[in-house]
Amino acid sequence: SYVLTQPPSVSVAPGKTASITCAGNNIGTKSVHWYQQRPGQAPVLLIYYDSDRPSGIPERFSGSSSGNTATLTISRVEAGDEADYYCHVWDSSSNHYVFGTGTKVTVL
Amino acid sequence: EVQLVESGGGLVQPGGSLRLSCAASGFTFSNFGMNWVRQAPGKGLEWLSYINKRSDTIYYADSFKGRFTISRDNAKNSLYLQMSGLRAEDTAVYYCARDEGPVPTIFGPWGQGTTVTVSS
């Protein structure tokens, strides 16, 4: 089965840039989506189709994907960005959705 | 406003069954595929199942095939998850999420979840 691996945690100071990776075999050939989940809340779509932002999502959030790694980048990090972040793909070879292992972002 | 509201969670004994519901409003439910996702306490997101708008395409994660059954009633704007043979490890918050494509593509709105606790 297809596996997506993320770092368990990322720590970043306010105003700095955080990068969260999502590793998967040839993930660059798939459409990657990212969700933000704040404590006690449901996930919210953050980035779709590798790099697009839904309306209402700040430009500080950006995404990219190539080869075996997709990356979510949070620029000018704010305290409110503390949350868990998950990458997500549809694996057409197995007809399964797959979530990444999740990354907890801590703002120092 | 798009709303998804899950219900039906609760405490169930090991080996028991439970039927979760997801009531949709604020959009044309019959135009969208739907998904169930769960999250065990302190753990990550786990996709369970997808059903397309006509119920003629259904997918399950391997771990749940045969134990969980997804269904929908477009006349009632509702999605369901019938769970049987429940185990302690099925304890989780269960979310429904709308699929945004004509085929499995991406999750849009999510419900707030319903909690299932499997314990004796």
B101 falls in which pLDDT band (50, 70, 90)?
A: confident
Nearest CA distance, B107 vs chain A (angstrom) = 7
Cα–Cα distances in Å, from B10 out to B17, B41, B102? 11, 15, 33
Cβ–Cβ under 8 Å, residues A48 and A78: no
Separation of alpha carbons A101 and B96, rounded Å: 19
Rounded to 5 degrees, φ, ψ at A82 are -65, 120
Inter-residue contact A90 to B105 (CB < 8 Å): yes
What letter represents residue B53's amino acid?
Answer: K
> Residue A10: which of A81, A108, A103 has the closest Cα?
A103
- The CA-based angle B99-A97-B42, given to 5 degrees, is 100
- Whether A54 shows a pLDDT value over 90: the answer reads yes
Given an 8 Å threshold on Cβ–Cβ distance, is A42 in contact with B112? yes
Dist CA B82 CA B36 (whole Å): 11
A24 inside 8 A of chain B by CB: no
- Partners of A48 in beta bridges: A52
User: Cβ contacts (< 8 Å) between A84 and chain B: which residues?
Assistant: 44
Distance CA A96, CA A89 (A): 9
Question: How much is the pLDDT for B94?
Answer: 98
Say whether residue A2 is in contact with chain B using an 8 A CB cutoff: no
Q: Give the nearest chain A residue to B58 (CA atoms).
A: A95
> Mean pLDDT across chain A, nearest whole number?
97
- For residues A62-67, average pLDDT: 97
The pLDDT confidence band at residue B118, using thresholds 50, 70 and 90, is: very high
Mean pLDDT of the region B104-115: 95
Q: Which residue has the tokens 């999420």?
A: B97
pLDDT 10s digits, B41-81: 999 999 999 999 999 999 999 999 889 999 999 999 999 99
CB contacts, 8 Å: A44 with chain B: 110
